[in-house]
Amino acid sequence: MNGVHDVGGMHGFGPVDWDEGPPSLDDWEAAVVAIQGATRRTGLINIDEFRHGIERMAPAHYLGSSYFEHWLDGIARVLVEKGAIDPAALDARTAFFAERPDGAARDALAAAPPATRPSVPHRGYVRPERAPPRFRAGDAVRARTTHPAGHTRLPRYARGRRGVIAAYHGVHVFPDTHAHGLGEQPQPLYSVRFEARELWGESAEPREAVYLDAWEPYLEPA
């Protein structure tokens, strides 16, 4: 989707707010990281569903909130969509903790929690090669002009632009289907080099290239 998350090449966000200090997690952020891990571990939400959950945040909310708020919002959206949690129960329990700012999660539990579900083994994202890849290093390609309403990992700035295959990385799970319950449909993945001049025209900086990982359906011969 051409969402507000697709910020590559935008202006207007100001200078980088560089902070040299080591990052750390607030308690609520650590909880969000743990929740994300649990939804992945149990196979409830895959990585692409998770990302697409975030992408569908209200745009003003996305830009006005912090990174782990994105995670929270995206995870809750997908859990509700999958029927894994009841939105009314989530709201009611949010109100419960709003009354108890120092409360811990266990304070809301009526009984001892059940045994935790076993982990689903993580298979990674590389799959067997079933056919030779269409492109080889050095091939000229063009990123397709496509503006799907659903999840994609082809950023807008590259669409319709010519590049060169820099490397072939084997066959990888395809985010555009994996995010939508349409299966892994693994596709050859390439590293594609785009000259900055091709992407940004006369606005490009000198001697710059952008490398993007692109699945085969994102590309056509140029």
Partner 1 sequence: MGKNHPNVDSYVVSRVRALESLLIEKGILAPDAVDAVVRRYEQDTGPLLGARAVARAWSDPAYRERLLADGRAAVAEFGGEVDTLLVVKENTPEVHHMVVCTLCSCYPWPVLGLPPTWYKQPAYRSRAVIAPREVLREFGTEIAEQREVRVWDSSSEMRYMVLPMRPPGTEALSEEELVALVTRDSMIGVTEIPQPAAVR
Nearest to a second copy of 87, 148 (CB atom): 148
Nearest to partner 1 of 137, 203 (CB atom): 203
3-state SS, residue 163:
strand
2 binds a second copy (CB under 8 A): yes
User: Are 148 and 173 within 8 A, CB to CB?
Assistant: no
Q: How many angstroms separate the CA atoms of 7 and 53, rounded?
A: 17
Contact string 85-124 vs a second copy (x = CB under 8 A): ----------------------------------------
Q: Name the token pair of 155.
A: 């950023």
44 binds a second copy (CB under 8 A): no
3-state secondary structure 75-138: HHHHHHHCCCCCHHHHHHHHHHHHCCCCCCHHHHCCCCCCCCCCCCCCCCCEECCCCCCCCCCC
User: Can you tell me which of 12, 118, 128, 206 binds a second copy, judged by CB under 8 A?
Assistant: 12
Map the footprint of a second copy across residues 184-213, applying CB under 8 A: 198-203
Nearest to a second copy of 154, 189 (CB atom): 154
Q: Name the token pair of 75.
A: 């995870």
CB of 147 to a second copy, least distance (A): 4
Q: Name the token pair of 36.
A: 């994300």
Q: How far is CA 151 from the centre of its chain?
A: 9
CB of 144 to partner 1, least distance (A): 14
For residue 119, count other CB atoms closer than 10 A to its CB: 11
Nearest to a second copy of 5, 40 (CB atom): 5
Contact string 138-157 vs a second copy (x = CB under 8 A): ------xxxxxx------x-
User: Are 73 and 60 within 8 A, CB to CB?
Assistant: no
64 binds a second copy (CB under 8 A): yes
In the complex, which residues of this chain contact a second copy (CB under 8 A)? 1-4, 9-14, 55-56, 58-60, 63-64, 144-149, 156, 159-161, 198-203
